[in-house]
């Protein structure tokens, strides 16, 4: 009976042919930024993970963050206030909607991002807003910030909204003028 012959081991290319070093860095951040995925049932991450808050709540001590609430057929820019339960709040249908489920926190990085004054849902010329989500119809939504009762509140804006919608005090506050859209700094995307 013939004996099985040993199979040969495929040869590997020499180590010298491997590409040198780490892969090159991305030339630009993703259009929606780098996110921290959260749920209403998970603990809120420590502040060293979330980086700088974009604002402070009415008590002037509690941090507020930019976020995006994830729904079945849409994603909406929102306010994340860890002291509130649930902490994810969306301006929707005339009220401050308490979102349950998945949402993403967008760490505010002042070296890369800035708030640019705008009005009526317009994107300022030659600026690149940070994408915050989209409507069920596919229209893009962007992160915005406006003042409600002297408190700077994050929310959403888009041209089809004609302004900025902010969740605060149980209601949805609509500003047509005098708010800001969150954009990438020019040197980050150029």
- Give pLDDT, residue 159: 97
Task: Find the mean pLDDT for residues 68-82.
Answer: 98
Check if the beta carbon of residue 77 is closer than 8 Å to that of residue 91: no
Kindly state the helix (H) or strand (E) to which residue 186 belongs, with its residue range: helix 186-189
Q: Is the confidence at residue 61, as pLDDT, over 70?
A: yes
pLDDT tens for each residue of 120-156: 999 999 999 999 999 999 999 999 999 999 999 999 9
Among residues 140, 172, 157, 169, which one has the least CA distance to residue 32? 140
- The pTM score is 0.84
- Say which residue, 10 or 176, is predicted with more confidence: 176
Q: Is the confidence at residue 26, as pLDDT, over 80?
A: no
Q: Is the confidence at residue 110, as pLDDT, over 50?
A: yes
Residue 186, phi-psi category: left (phi > 0), alpha (psi -120 to 50), beta (remainder): alpha
pLDDT tens for each residue of 27-51: 678 888 889 999 999 999 998 889 8
- Mean pLDDT score across all residues of the chain: 89
**Rounded to the nearest 5°, which phi and psi values hold at 117?**
-60, 140
**Rounded to the nearest 5°, which phi and psi values hold at 114?**
-150, 155
- Give pLDDT, residue 8: 43
Residues in CB range of 99: below 8 A, 6 or more apart: 40, 69, 78, 86, 88, 89, 90
């Amino acid at each position: 009976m013939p004996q099985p012959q040993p199979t040969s081991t495929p040869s590997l290319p020499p180590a010298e042919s491997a590409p040198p070093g780490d892969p090159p860095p991305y030339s630009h951040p993703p259009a929606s930024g780098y996110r921290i995925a959260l749920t209403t049932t998970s603990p809120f991450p420590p502040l060293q993970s979330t980086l700088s808050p974009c604002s402070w709540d009415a008590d002037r001590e509690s941090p507020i963050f930019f976020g995006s609430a994830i729904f079945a057929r849409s994603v909406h820019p929102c306010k994340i206030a860890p002291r509130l339960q649930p902490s994810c709040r969306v301006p929707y249908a005339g009220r401050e909607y308490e979102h349950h489920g998945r949402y993403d926190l967008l760490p505010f990085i002042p070296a890369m991002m800035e708030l640019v004054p705008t009005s009526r849902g317009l994107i300022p010329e030659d600026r690149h807003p940070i994408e915050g989500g989209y409507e069920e119809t596919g229209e893009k939504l962007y992160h915005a910030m406006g003042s409600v009762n002297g408190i700077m509140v994050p929310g959403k804006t888009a041209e089809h909204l004609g302004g900025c919608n902010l969740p605060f005090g149980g209601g949805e506050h609509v500003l047509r003028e005098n708010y800001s859209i969150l954009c990438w700094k020019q040197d980050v995307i150029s």
